[in-house]
């Protein structure tokens, strides 16, 4: 990695599901310490882009680079897939993803949920990881819930536990896929406060969100996706304050209606 290489870089990415073209040549760069927000209507390709970045989906064309290292591929078009499984595992362990649904293990306590991946995937010392897990649970405001079961927590608390779990992997970047959309407004604010605090710390993050206030408040750069392409992008002050694209103007006015 060079000092100037972005943590994540995407070049001319294409993704199809059968005959449906979902991403049609997308470029993205997430420098260290920057927050990139992806906005757009449902079906615009936001979540698919995030899943391609985390190599949960194979793309058909284009490059994905992690700290300057390009993902290796074999095959072309619909037959293309990641060629080096060890590389995929290494990249994924450095890109922690927080999903819309919390995906906590119901048979494990909150503390055990947060500890699971560092112990089993990274093979880290259990005692060391426990201390780290307790620290991150306290950081997201639920340090008193270590021994609780997921079903005993509210949705906002469960999502904060999922964020603590992602942080416990000590990743180079965090990926958020609609982290607040499954929550009611009051619980949503609990999670937004945590995300804002992480942004203030200078963590590298890519956030898919329907919350324009969150995108405006935490982002260094906002990308508006429409029909699988970048319709407009720029700093939040420009994108929200003086949008150029008619489609973006319509999208923003519909959201504020």
The answer to whether residue 144 sits within a structural domain is yes
- With H, G, I as helix, E, B as strand and everything else as coil, classify residue 141: coil
pTM over 0.85: yes
229-244 pLDDT, tens digit per residue, is 999 999 999 999 999 9
1-27 pLDDT, tens digit per residue, is 445 789 999 999 999 999 999 999 999
200-233 pLDDT, tens digit per residue, is 999 999 999 999 999 999 999 999 999 999 999 9
Q: What percentage of the chain exceeds 70 in pLDDT?
A: 98
| Dihedral angle of Cα 8, 166, 163, 116, to the nearest 10 degrees | 170
Q: What integer pLDDT is reported at residue 2 of this predicted model?
A: 46
Parallel/antiparallel/unpaired status of strands 95-98 and 173-177: parallel
Give dist(CA 107, CA 126) in Å, integer: 19
Give dist(CA 245, CA 251) in Å, integer: 10
Question: Across residues 53-68, what is the average pLDDT?
Answer: 96
Strand partners, 151: none
Please return the burial class of 215, using the count of CB atoms within 10 Å of its CB with bins 0-12, 13-18 and 19+: buried
DSSP labels for 151-217? GGS-HHHHHHHHHHHHHHT--SEEEEESTTTTS-HHHHHHHHHHHHHHHHTT--EEEE-S-HHHHHH
Higher pLDDT, 183 or 175: 175
| Distances from the Cα of 134 to the Cα of 104, 129, 143, angstroms | 16, 9, 6
The answer to whether residue 252 sits within a structural domain is no
Tell me the chain's radius of gyration from C-alpha atoms: 18
Q: How confident is the model at residue 254 (pLDDT cuts 50, 70, 90)?
A: confident
Q: What integer pLDDT is reported at residue 100 of this predicted model?
A: 86
Answer whether residue 144 shows pLDDT above 80: yes
The answer to whether residue 135 sits within a structural domain is yes
Q: What integer pLDDT is reported at residue 4 of this predicted model?
A: 73
| Distances from the Cα of 170 to the Cα of 43, 142, 238, angstroms | 31, 18, 32
- The domain tally of the chain equals 1
Q: What percentage of the chain exceeds 90 in pLDDT?
A: 90
Domain limits for position 137: 104-170
Question: Across residues 145-170, what is the average pLDDT?
Answer: 96
Handedness of CA 135, 140, 142, 148 (dihedral sign): negative
The answer to whether residue 156 sits within a structural domain is yes
DSSP labels for 58-93? --SEEEEEETTEEPPEES-GGG-EES-HHHHHHHHH
76-108 pLDDT, tens digit per residue, is 999 999 999 999 999 999 999 999 888 899 999
Q: What integer pLDDT is reported at residue 183 of this predicted model?
A: 87
Q: What integer pLDDT is reported at residue 256 of this predicted model?
A: 53
Answer whether residue 257 shows pLDDT above 60: no
């Amino acid at each position: 990695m060079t000092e100037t290489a972005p943590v994540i870089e995407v070049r001319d990415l294409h993704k199809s599901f059968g005959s449906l073209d979902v991403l049609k040549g997308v470029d993205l760069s997430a420098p260290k310490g920057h927050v990139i927000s992806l906005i757009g209507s449902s079906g615009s390709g936001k979540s698919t882009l995030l899943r391609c970045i985390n190599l949960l989906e194979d793309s058909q064309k284009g490059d994905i680079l992690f700290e300057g290292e390009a993902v290796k591929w074999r095959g072309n078009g619909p037959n293309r897939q990641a060629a080096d499984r060890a590389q995929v595992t290494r990249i994924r362990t450095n890109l922690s993803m927080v999903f819309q649904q919390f995906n906590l293990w119901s048979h494990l306590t909150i503390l055990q949920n947060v500890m699971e991946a560092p112990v089993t995937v990274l093979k880290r010392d259990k005692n060391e990881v426990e201390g780290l897990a307790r620290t991150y649970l306290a950081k997201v405001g639920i340090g008193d819930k270590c021994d609780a079961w997921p079903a005993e927590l509210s949705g906002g608390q469960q999502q904060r536990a999922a964020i603590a779990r992602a942080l416990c992997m000590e990743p180079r970047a965090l990926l958020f896929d609609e982290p607040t959309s499954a929550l009611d407004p009051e619980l949503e604010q609990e999670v937004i406060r945590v995300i804002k605090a992480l942004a203030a710390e200078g963590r590298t993050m890519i956030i898919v969100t329907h919350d324009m206030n969150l995108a405006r408040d935490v982002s260094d750069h906002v990308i508006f996706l429409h029909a699988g392409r970048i319709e407009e992008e720029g700093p939040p002050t420009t994108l929200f304050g003086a949008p150029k694209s008619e489609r973006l103007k319509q999208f923003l006015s519909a959201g504020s209606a």
